[in-house]
């Protein structure tokens, strides 16, 4: 199936595995929350039990160094992509309001990103992640 939009999640390549997984999970929820129309239908198992809806298209996960992450961030802003962000200081907070507070304290043009998710037209997302490799 071909999609008009694309979702890319980019994580800093030198994070611990638990941090990469944590960042990826949070960023995926950010994109899902910003694009409820992209959610699929609820799942139902063979016993008829309902399970939560999942995103209706693939999410590609990339890895990047600091420069690559910041370049993708700037491309996301320039191309007006939907963005979800995770900065290093968020690892030391314990709740959503604290996360927003530490993000607001970051330099607007160069936050200390450890993760970024973007969603938008396929070509625009491809340009934002150009040169990055899929996470291995």
User: Among all chains, which residue has been given the structure tokens 């450890």?
Assistant: 114
* Residue % of the chain over a pLDDT of 70: 100
* Domains parsed from the chain with CATH numbers: 5-134 (3.40.1490.10)
Whether the pLDDT of residue 136 is over 90: the answer is no
Asked if 122 and 130 count as a contact pair (C-beta separation under 8 A), the reply is no
Average pLDDT over residues 17-36: 96
76-124: pLDDT as tens digits: 999 999 999 999 999 999 999 999 999 999 999 999 999 999 999 999 9
pLDDT of 2 reads 85
42-74: pLDDT as tens digits: 999 999 999 999 999 999 999 999 999 999 999
Whether the pLDDT of residue 25 is over 90: the answer is yes
Residue 1's pLDDT band (cuts 50, 70, 90): confident
CA angle 62, 64, 66 (to 5 degrees): 150
Sign for the pseudo-dihedral over CA of 105, 110, 113, 115:
positive
């Amino acid at each position: 199936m071909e999609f008009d939009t694309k979702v890319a999640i980019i994580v800093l390549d030198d994070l611990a595995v638990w941090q990469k997984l944590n960042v990826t999970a949070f960023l995926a929820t950010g994109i899902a929350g910003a694009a409820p129309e992209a959610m699929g239908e609820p799942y139902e198992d063979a016993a008829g039990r309902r399970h939560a809806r999942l995103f209706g298209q693939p999410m590609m996960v990339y890895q990047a160094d600091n420069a690559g992450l910041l370049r993708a961030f700037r491309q996301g802003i320039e191309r007006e992509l939907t963005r979800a962000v995770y900065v290093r200081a968020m690892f030391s907070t314990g709740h959503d309001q604290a996360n927003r507070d530490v993000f607001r304290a970051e330099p607007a043009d160069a936050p200390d990103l450890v993760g970024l998710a973007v969603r938008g037209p396929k070509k625009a997302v491809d340009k934002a992640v150009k040169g990055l490799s899929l996470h291995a």
